[in-house]
Each structure stands twice: as C-alpha cells, then as structure tokens.
Amino acid sequence: MKKVQVKLLILIVLILAVSTAGCKNVQQPIVFKNAYPILETMTLEDKVYQMMVISASEVKDDSINFGGIVYFKKDIGTIAETQAKLEAAKSGKKIPPLLAVDEEGGRVSRLKDLYPELGYEPLPPMAEITDDGTKTGQTLADVLNKVGFNTDFAPVADVGQDSEAIGNRAFSTDPEIASEKVTNVVKALASRNIISSLKHFPGHGSALADTHEGMSITEKSREGFETVDFLPFEAGIKAGADMIMTAHITAPSLDPESVPATFSKPILTDILRGQLGFEGVIITDALGMGAVAEMGAEGCIKAIEAGVDILLMPVDYTAAKDAIIEAVNSGRISEERINESVLRILKMKEKHGLI
C-alpha cells in the first residue's frame, strides 16, 4: 500500500512540475493600480475631455486635460523643437495625454523629414516593404521614441489597394500577407512601448470613394468582410493592438441602417467587440472628414452610443463636450457608459506607463 502511495505522490509532483513549467510562457494579467483610483477623482467634464484627441493646432486652453493630442506635418519642426513641444504638451497634466501621430510610412509620414537626422531612411509605402513587418515596425517605434511620441495611428489593417483613400497604404491585397505584417508591426511597436492603432474598421479596402471628401459605400457582403477584411484586424487583436480606429464607410451588409461605421452599434459593439472579441480602445477616424462632419456634436453622441471610446478631432470640441454632458444629464447616455470608455483609456495608459 505504501508503494502505491509513493508512486501516486511522485506522479502528482511530476504533473505539478509540468504544469508549472507550462505556465512560464502564459502572459500574466495586468494588475491595474492607478486607473480605478484616478477615475474616481474625475468630474464628468474631466471624463468627457479624456475621451477626446484633438489636433495640436486646436489647443487653445492649456488647462484642459485632453485624452490626447495629434500632430500633423505643420506641427513638426526640428527634432529639438518637436521634443520641446511634446514635453510642454504633457507638462502639469494630471493624466498625461496620448502624443499621437499618423506615421505609417510612404505618403502618410508626418516625420519623414526627421528620419535622416535620426539615422534612418524614410519608409516606403507599406505595399512596398519587403520584410515581414518586424523591421518596419521597429523603425517606426525607434523614430517615434526618439522624437517623443507615445502613440502611432498605425498600422493600416485594410486589405486591397483599389480604394482612393487607401491604395498603397495597405500591406497587401492578400489578407494572409496583410495579417502577418499587421501582427509583426503591432508586436514591434509594443516591444518599444508605442501604443498602436489598427485602422480602418471594418475595412476600407473595398470602399472606393475617399471619406475625407464625402460618403463612401461598399456593397461587399458580410461573408466578404468575414473572410477577407476582418482577418488582419483579428490578427492585430491577437497580437495585442491597443486601439482600433473606425472607418467612416457605410456597409449595408453589416448594418442595414446604412450609417457610417463610426456611428454603427451593430458594427462596433456587436461585431468588433462581440464577434471579434476586442476589449481595447475604439477611436473614431477624424470627425471633421467630409463623410461625417455635418453630424457635428450629435455625431459625437451617436459614436459613443455605438461603442466608441475616443473621439478624434471633433469639429468643435467645446460644443461636443457640452452636448455629451447634456446627454448624460438628460439620461440619453449613462455616466456608467462614459466610465466604461474612460476606464479603457486609463488602463491603456497605465499599461504603457503613462499613469
């Protein structure tokens, strides 16, 4: 009997040893110590402003603690000038902002003129890169880190290059190739602590018109989205993408109401969160673009109702703030819904050491 007990004990020890060894490669959940206490101290106005990323040229009141600031080529000077500008933007802020830039490579490169001084060749369009995305992502992250940015509105996860707005910004017309490169860019950015943002969900590749100019409709079937367009987004989510940016395209197969994806609860809440399992931050594309600009402050409310966490460049951020607060006070939007978004934003910032 004793021999049986000894053998049983040895077996249990071996099982535990194997289980422990296997757990070494399991990523431990992040324990958030700062996000929750900060949320508890915020006023409703604080929360609403935290849900906005505005352009650097629109910052008129340094006392407002916006969720983030996005910089364009006109805002970029020398390396030293840009570094000083970014330091000033976060100085004195209780919650440091996302310091964001559209740095994809190719024709969407706000920092292109700084690459040589930093010891890099400017990146070609993503359709022309020859690596698997790792080296490209590392270059992007190194440049951003050296200048002082913490957020990149990249990589593009759209499939196909016929769209006027996307073209060679997309990695490939093949969803598997695009998925691989999206995965590796996201991982490379994360390895250097840069916040990433996949764009433009649910996939802009088949919507030919440019949403910067006006409405863009795609007649692609739901099956077409699920077997092509969604794949790079699913890959990016699995790789740990922090944010996903919405497209202003209209996709009737995904939402019969035929509203732009930015305002579509079936697309953002049911599909992106429910079907694809994305738990990170959903950010709109710029709200001043032709396809949605006329919605104004009401568009900001509809985006939040659809599931958006961050409003990118609302046309009038003061009017948007007032409208959202009024929507909460009237009961149209609950403050709990606002808290959900702000908590996602704060957790993302804590994950990357900003708070």
The residue from 102, 229, 255, 285 that is catalytic is 285
Instruction: Return the pLDDT at 9.
Output: 43
What is the pLDDT averaged over residues 192-213? 84
| pLDDT exceeds cutoff 90 at 210 | no
Tens of pLDDT, residue by residue over 141-168, are: 999 999 999 999 999 999 986 777 899 9
Tens of pLDDT, residue by residue over 251-283, are: 999 999 999 999 999 999 999 999 999 999 999
Output the average pLDDT for the chain.
91
The set of residues, in sequence order, having a beta carbon less than 8 Å from that of 232 and lying 6+ positions away, is 157, 158, 159, 171, 175, 178, 179, 182, 198
* 212 noted as active-site residue: yes
**Given pLDDT bands bounded at 50, 70 and 90, which one contains residue 291?**
confident
| Phi, then psi, of 82 in degrees rounded to 5 | -70, -40
Tens of pLDDT, residue by residue over 103-132, are: 999 999 999 999 999 999 999 999 999 999
| pLDDT exceeds cutoff 90 at 66 | yes
Structure-block tokens of residue 27: 């990523």
DSSP of 178-240, one letter per residue? HHHHHHHHHHHHHHTT-EEEEEEET--TT--S-TTTS--B----HHHIIIIIHHHHHHHHHHT
What is the pairing mode between strands 52-55 and 311-312?
Answer: parallel
Tell me the percentage of the chain whose pLDDT exceeds 70.
Answer: 89
Instruction: Return the pLDDT at 3.
Output: 47
* 200 noted as active-site residue: no
The rounded distance, in Å, linking the Cα atoms of 291 and 330 is: 28
Q: Set out the domains of the chain in order of their start, with CATH numbers.
A: 33-351 (3.20.20.300)
Which of 102-116, 209-223, 287-301 is predicted with the least confidence, judged by mean pLDDT?
209-223
Tens of pLDDT, residue by residue over 26-46, are: 456 788 999 999 999 999 999
Residue 17 C-alpha from the chain's centroid: 39
Q: Do residues 165 and 122 make contact, with C-beta atoms less than 8 angstroms apart?
A: no
Instruction: Return the pLDDT at 95.
Output: 97
The helix (run of H) or strand (run of E) holding residue 104 is strand 103-105
The residue from 212, 270, 316, 322 that is catalytic is 212
DSSP state of 310: B
Nearest to 274, CA basis, from 284, 285, 264, 260: 264
